[in-house]
Chain A
Amino acid sequence: MLYFSKLRVFSVLIFTLIISYFTISNFTKVDDEFFSKNIKLGLDLQGGSYLLLEIDNEPVITQRLQSKVLEFKKFFKDKDIKVRNFVIEDKSIVFDVENSKIEEVKSLLDDDKSEINPYFQQYKSHQFNIENMDTSFKLEFSDYGLVLLKNSSLDQAIEIVRRRVDEVGTNEPNILKRGNDRILVELPGLDDPGRIKSLLGKTANLTFQFISSSSEESFGTEKLSFEDGSSEAIVSKRIVLSGDNLMDAKPTMNNQTNETVVSFTLDRVGAKKFGKATSNGVGKRLAIVLDGKIISAPEVREPIIGGNGQISGNFTFQSATDLALLLRSGALPAPLNIIEERTVGPDLGKDSINAGIMSLIIGFILVVAFMFYKYRFFGLIANLALISNLFLLVGILTLFEATLTLPGIAGIILTVGMAVDANVLIFERIKEELKNENNSIVAFDSGYTKSRTTILDANITTLIAAVILFFMGSGPIKGFSITLGVGILTTLFSVYFIARLITAYYVIKNKHKEKLI
Chain B
Amino acid sequence: MKTIYFNKFYKSFNILSGILIIASLVFLVFKGLNFGVDFKGGTLIELRTDKSSANITKIRDSFNQMNLGDVSVKNFGNETDFVVKFEKQNSNDPQFIEEIKTKLSNSIGTVDFRRVENVGPKVSAELLRSGVIAIALSLAAMLLYIWIRFEWQFSLGAILALFHDVIITLGVFSVFSLEINLSIVAAVLTIVGYSMNDTVVIFDRVRENLRKYADVKIFELTNISINETLSRTIITSVTTLLALLSIFIFGGEILKGFSLAMILGVIFGTYSSIYIANPVLISLKVSQRTIVKEEKE
A interface residues (Cβ-Cβ under 8 A, vs B): 44, 51-52, 54, 192, 194-195, 197-198, 201, 337-345, 347-348, 351-352, 355-356, 358-360, 362-363, 366-367, 370-371, 374, 406-407, 409-410, 413-414, 416-418, 420-421, 424-425, 428, 432, 453-454, 457-466, 468-469, 472-477, 480-481, 484
Contact across chains for B183 and A476 when beta carbons are under 8 A apart = yes
Residue of A nearest to B132 (CB): A472
Enumerate the 5 nearest inter-chain pairs by beta-carbon distance, A residue then B residue, closest first.
Answer: A417-B243, A363-B246, A465-B193, A355-B252, A198-B94
Chain B residues in 8 Å Cβ range of A197: 91, 94
Given A340-B123, A454-B201, A464-B141, 6 further pairs, Cβ under 8 A: A201-B92, A340-B118, A342-B116, A414-B190, A417-B243, A476-B183
A-B contact pairs, 17 of them (CB 8 A): A342-B118, A345-B114, A345-B115, A348-B115, A352-B252, A358-B250, A363-B243, A413-B246, A424-B236, A454-B204, A457-B197, A461-B142, A461-B145, A463-B193, A464-B138, A465-B190, A468-B189
- The segment out of B56-64, B254-262, B281-289 that lies at the interface is B254-262
Q: Report yes or no: B192 in contact with A465, Cβ–Cβ below 8 A.
A: yes
Q: Which residues of A contact B250 (CB under 8 A)?
A: 355, 358-359, 362
Chain A residues in 8 Å Cβ range of B4: none
Residue of A nearest to B195 (CB): A461
Q: Is the CB of A406 within 8 A of B254?
A: yes
B-side interface residues, number (CB < 8 Å):
70
Interface SS majority for chain A: helix
B137, A468: Cβ atoms under 8 Å? Answer: yes
Q: Nearest B residue to A417 by beta-carbon distance?
A: B243
Closest to A341 in B: B118
Q: Is the CB of B236 within 8 A of A410?
A: no
Given the interface contacts A345-B115, A407-B183, does A194 sit within 8 Å of B95 by beta carbon? Answer: yes
**Do A356 and B252 form a contact, CB below 8 Å, given A348-B114, A410-B247, A472-B130?**
yes
Q: Is B275 on the interface with A (CB-CB < 8 A)?
A: no
Query: Given that A194-B95, A464-B141 are contacting pairs, would A366 and B242 also be in contact in the complex, using a CB cutoff of 8 Å?
Result: yes
Which residues of chain A come closer than 8 Å to B149, judged between CB atoms? 457
Shortest beta-carbon distance from B200 to chain A in Å: 5
Q: Which residues 241-271 of B sit at the A interface, judged by CB distance below 8 A?
A: 241-247, 249-252, 254-255, 258-259, 262
Distance in Å from the Cβ of B269 to the closest Cβ of chain A? Answer: 11
The answer to whether B239 has its CB under 8 Å from any CB of chain A is yes
Main secondary structure of the interface of B (DSSP, over half): helix
Q: B131 contacts which chain A residues (CB < 8 A)?
A: 472
Answer yes or no: B75 CB below 8 A from chain A CBs.
no
Question: Are B138 and A355 neighbours in the complex by a CB distance under 8 Å?
Answer: no
Does the CB pair A194–B97 fall under 8 Å? Answer: yes
Expressed in whole angstroms, the minimum distance between the Cβ of B54 and any Cβ of chain A is 18
What is the CA–CA distance of A339 and B198 in the complex, to the nearest angstrom?
41
A472 touches B133 (CB 8 A): yes
Q: How far is the CA of A461 from the CA of B193 in the complex (A)?
A: 5
Q: Mark B residues whose CB is within 8 Å of A.
A: 46, 91-92, 94-95, 97-98, 112-120, 122-123, 127, 130-131, 133-134, 137-138, 141-142, 145, 149, 182-183, 185-186, 189-190, 192-194, 196-198, 200-201, 204-205, 228-229, 231-232, 235-236, 238-247, 249-252, 254-255, 258-259, 262
Residue in A370, A458, A484 whose beta carbon sits within 8 Å of that of B238 in the complex: A370
Bound-state CA distance A418–B243 (Å) is 9
Residues of B within 8 A of A343 (CB): 113, 115-117
Q: When the two chains form their complex, are residues A370 and B242 in contact, meaning their CB atoms are under 8 A apart? A: yes
Chain A residue nearest to B231 (CB atoms) is: A428
**Of A195, A406, A418, A469, the contact of B134 (CB 8 Å cutoff):** A469
- Please tell me if the beta carbons of B255 and A406 are within 8 angstroms of each other in the complex: yes
Q: In the complex, are the beta carbons of B197 and A461 less than 8 A apart?
A: yes
B186 touches A366 (CB 8 A): no
Across the interface, do B204 and A466 meet the contact criterion of CB distance under 8 Å?
Answer: no
Do residues A410 and B258 form an inter-chain contact, with CB atoms below 8 A?
yes
CB distance from B47 to the nearest CB of A (A): 10
Question: Do residues A367 and B243 form an inter-chain contact, with CB atoms below 8 A?
Answer: yes
Q: Which of B142, B232, B249 contacts A359 (CB 8 A)?
A: B249
Q: Known contacts being A52-B123, A474-B182, is A352 close to B138, with CB within 8 Å?
A: no
Known A461-B142, A473-B182, A477-B186; judge A410-B134 contact (CB<8 A).
Answer: no
